[in-house]
Structure 1
Amino acid sequence: MSEARAADQVRRRPRDRRQTIEAAAAVAFAERGYHRVAMQDVADAVGITAAALYRHFDNKYELFREIAMDLVARLTDATAAVGEVSDRTPATARTEAAAVLDAVSGETVAMRSSGNIYRWESRYLRPEDRRALAAEFTALRRRLAEPAAMLRPDLDPPTLDLVALAALSVIASVTAHRTPMAVASLQALLREAAMRVLTEAPGPAPTAPAEGHGPVEAAPPGRRRDQLAQAGIAAFARRGYHEASIEEIAAAVGITPSGVYRHFSGKSEILRTACERAAAALDAAADDALGRPDPREALHSLEAAYVRFAVEDRDLMDVYTADVGALDAEDQRRLRRLQRAHVDDWVELLGRLRPDLDPRDLRFLVHAGFNVVADLSVALRRSPAPEAKRWIGAVLETVLGV
């Protein structure tokens, strides 16, 4: 190769190749999950060879970790650009909080196609990397909680942290669906709902008992198939479908791995059974709510059922939300249709109480409510269930504006 040709190739190579790789990989991980993406897939998306990709990243995990930390760094940098008020008043605190929310929403909307890797795919980060990511998000919540403290002097620091979590969860919800909306209108809707959470959420939040999680319960009595399904749900929620094994599911109920196959053909059937169980529970709650003549009572019934499901059967809710993508294509399509139909039921009921909003706005609020319930049910997992359900339900109503 001539020196002139070599120099021309160097000039043609994009200076931002590493960023291009990260952007393509982030979308792939968000859409298909960590385990279903190969380095060759990323190389193909960028238009380079696998060898060229490995010049930038040693392996898939290094690429994934870099993406996760970079995405949260973008949020941190955006909020750092918002000036802190040294002598806050309620008026300046409100302005500052709104500016922080706008900064976060601006970055979140910009990375909407990839931002959802935080919730589910971060399970695959190593413990030290998960801790680093969690520390970044803790600092992000603190940045919002500081002006919120001026707006809500009635709230203690732990509750302020949860309120900030819920407000940020409203914004993060846009990464969980693809409903289109103009950016300016979307940011305004998100800001309004998030500010409602900051200014109107109840307090104080429930606290965890001093003894913490308590003893680990043995597998519940009942039919072996039900025990295995529940053990599978717990393993999928804890480690992700691809990391969980038939061996650990069998061990959880005290049988050999071969015994699992007398009840299920494999992990995929356990997952499908779990998702069908979740869909049936949500569908039954919607049928009950839609049969009530009073729209306020109907929506309250639907809210209570959803929060109860999230708090009392959090593992099943997590699996239903996170691991549908591990099913085969036909099962995925069927369950996605059920999920969309459930959102439609919420939109219909909420629309009766919020005639000021069009169906698209309502859909964004419903997704925001779902996201907040999911995040708060995890944050309050050690709190007494009745108190957690009451508090989360009240925050959900605040998000929906009812």
Structure 2
Amino acid sequence: MSVTDHTEQRAETKPPEPGTQTAAPERVVRRRPKNRRAQIAAEAATAFGAHGYHGVSMEDIAGRLGISSAALYRHYRSKYALFREELFRLAEVTVQAVTLPEDAATWTPRERLDHVIDAIIAKTIGNRSTTALVRWERRYLDDEDRQALDDKFAEAVRLLGAIVRELHPEFARDDVAVRSVAVFSVVSSIGDHHATLPTRLLTPLLAATCRALIDVELPAPEPTPAPPEPEPGSPFMHEVLLTKSVELFHERGYQNVSVEDIATAAELATASAVYRYYRSKSDLLAAAFRRAADIVSGAIGPMVTASATPADALSGLIDLYVDGSFAERALTYVYYAEFGNVAAEDRVTLHHIQQLVIAEWTKLLVQVRPELSDAEARILVHAGFALVVDLGRAFGDDGIAPRDRVTTLHRTTLFGHA
């Protein structure tokens, strides 16, 4: 096998026998795999999903495939082209999943919804690495491409919403939108982690959760109260830098923010002034993440001690998590999107804290729902965290998904009911 984009087959030759004619040498046959472009796209999706868009080069992808960079560029003119194609491929797959077949006209509304939910789950399981890529890396698309991609996924949400409305014609438009986004969030959350469960168990678990999210009674939407005004006086520069850096990471993406940008946002004269407080841009990210992780982990012990039952403890933790997410929307999103950009030594510590949080929530959930295995409960815990982030990202503070509704949907994800 050569390192170029083809295989070679060579005939073994021997010296001619005396008195015989010399045969013409056998031609070298070069064949390119017919599915090479699909192989490249699949390998790139895995690499991007594991290391992020900026963490992967064309040379990395070529090396994973055992071909030369020149061979790779024959199929894709740039890393961006590869990245873009993969995201739009998943968008098209998602739209197809919520598009009913022709014979669905004779189905009941519940049968139509069940079919679409199963299709969403199957397509997501089959594209798990790309699902994570779309969720957290699509902001690195050009503005025009990002808008086109968002329009595609909005179309999928609308198609799902139309099926939900057939089943529940009493739902208001905003109710349908919230539930539709919740379904996509819970299913696509499997791209955020490495917890595994056999497909034969994962599919019914996610499907039952999606049906519960669609059927649960939601409180009437009310505006979320405005956050309290900050205390008078100048905050410490450490705090200013943390706040401004997280805002910039949320808006532009970590890789697109410089220390100079952070200094300007914090109204510091020079970029070097940032280094009096933090050693690096990565250090800022780690400090913000460590604070968030400590708050979430530190709440578990006191809540369990103060609660009469595991259900009360888990419900109280859900309240605290949703409240914290509403208070720090940007940080909650950045924690998911930029975790891979933290320095390796800090990432180990943060990952350990994260695993402890997941383990404690999982233990409580199994106590509340003993029919669940640890693996199933862990999937639902991850789904609940993702749901809160996605609803905040989709609806912000427009009143469609206020705190009490998000809390209800989070409880439904874990408990199977509100």
TM-score (norm 1): 0.90
Q: Secondary structure at the match of 2:254?
A: coil
Letter in 1 for 2:30: Q
The one of 47, 65, 71 aligned to 2:84 = 65
Distance in 2 between the 1:70 and 1:220 partners?
A: 51
CA contact (8 A) 1:57 1:63 kept: yes
Contact 2:100 2:112 in 1 (8 A): no
The 5 A counterparts of 1:171-320 are 171-202=187-218, 204-206=220-222, 221-256=234-269, 257-291=271-305, 292-320=307-335
For 1:181-204, what per-residue CA distance to the aligned partner results, in whole angstroms no more than 9, with x for missing partners? 211211111111001111115154
SS at 1:15 equivalent: coil
Q: Which SS does the other structure have where 1:9 is aligned?
A: strand
- 2:55 corresponds to 1:36: yes
Counterpart-to-counterpart distance in 2, 1:290 and 1:4: 77
Alignment partners' CA distance in 1, 2:41 and 2:413: 33
Displacement of 1:142: 1.5
Supply the distance in 2 between the matched residues of 1:379 and 1:142 (Cα, whole angstroms).
Answer: 13
Query: 1:220, 1:241 → 2: CA distance?
Result: 29
Q: Distance in 1 between matches of 2:310 and 2:181?
A: 29
Aligned equivalent of 2:34:
15
Residue in structure 2 matching 1:45, options 49, 64, 69: 64
How far is the alpha carbon of 1:206 from its aligned partner? 4.8
Give CA-to-partner distance per residue, 1:119-166, whole Å, 9 cap, x none: 111110111111111111111111211121122233211221121010
1:108 aligned to 2:124? yes
Residue 110 (structure 2) pairs with residue 94 (structure 1): yes
Cα 1:41–1:194 shift into 2, 3 Å: same
Deviation at 1:81, TM superposition (A): 5.3
Match of 2:374 among 359, 378, 383: 359
How many angstroms does 1:279 deviate by?
0.7
Structure 2: which 5+ runs fail to align? 1-7, 11-24
Distance 1:201 1:339, change over 3 A: farther
Contact residue 141 and residue 164 of structure 1 kept, 8 A: yes
1:396 aligns with 2:406: no
On the 8 A contact 1:101/1:168 being kept in 2, the answer is: no
1:378 to 2:387 alignment: no
Secondary structure of the residue aligned to 1:261 is helix
Residue by residue over 1:276-333, the C-alpha shift from the partner in whole angstroms, topping out at 9 and shown as x without a partner, is 1111111122222222332222111100111112211011112222212112222212
CA distance in 1, matches of 2:404, 2:146: 30
After superposition, the Cα gap between the structure-2 partners of 1:201 and 1:20, relative to the gap in structure 1 and judged at 3 Å, is farther
Residues 104, 112 of structure 2: 8 Å contact kept: yes
CA RMSD of aligned residues (A): 2.4
- Residues 141-160 of structure 1: matches in 2 within 5 Å? 141-160=157-176
Tell me, yes or no, if the aligned pair for 2:94 and 2:153 is still in contact at 8 Å: no
Percentage of identical aligned residues: 32
| Range with bigger deviation, 315-324 or 289-298 | 289-298
**In the aligned structure 2, how far is the partner of 1:28 from the partner of 1:240?**
19
* Distance 1:372-1:129 versus aligned 2 partners, 3 A rule: same
Worse overlay, 295-304 or 375-384: 375-384
1:332 aligns with 2:347: yes
1:207 Cα deviation from its structure 2 partner: 6.6
Aligned partners of 2:224 and 2:168: how far apart in 1?
A: 22
Question: Which residue in 1 is equivalent to 2:136?
Answer: 120
Q: CA deviation at 1:100?
A: 0.4
- The structure-2 alpha-carbon separation of the partners of 1:206 and 1:118, relative to structure 1 and needing over 3 Å to count, comes to farther
Q: Which amino acid aligns with 2:81?
A: E
The residue matched to 1:155 in structure 2 has which SS? Answer: coil
What's the secondary structure of 2:117's corresponding residue?
helix
State whether residues 236 and 244 of structure 1, in contact with CA within 8 Å, keep that contact through their aligned partners in structure 2.
Answer: yes
Residue 75 of structure 1 corresponds to 94
C-alpha distance in structure 2 between counterparts of 1:277 and 1:381, whole Å: 23
Contact 1:246 1:267 in 2 (8 A): yes
Aligned-partner residue type, residue 47 of structure 2:
A
SS of alignment partner, residue 80 of structure 1:
coil
2:63 aligned partner, one-letter code? D
User: Following the alignment from structure 1 to structure 2, what is the Cα–Cα distance between the partners of residues 161 and 353?
Assistant: 29
Instruction: Report the Cα distance in structure 2 between the residues aligned to 1:84 and 1:251, rounded to whole angstroms.
Output: 59
CA shift for structure 1 position 367:
1.2
Aligned pair in 2 of structure 1 residues 375, 245: CA closer, same or farther (>3 Å)?
same
- Superposed CA deviations along residues 232-274 of structure 1, whole A, max 9, x for unmatched, are 1111111111111112211112112221111111201101101
Distance 1:296 1:206, change over 3 A: same
**Distance between the aligned counterparts of 2:168 and 2:251, measured in 1?**
35
Whose Rg is larger?
Answer: 2
Provide the rounded CA distance (Å) in 2 between the counterparts of 1:175 and 1:4: 50
How many corresponding residue pairs?
A: 388
Contact 1:314 1:377 in 2 (8 A): yes
Contact 2:247–2:330 at 8 Å: present in 1 too? yes
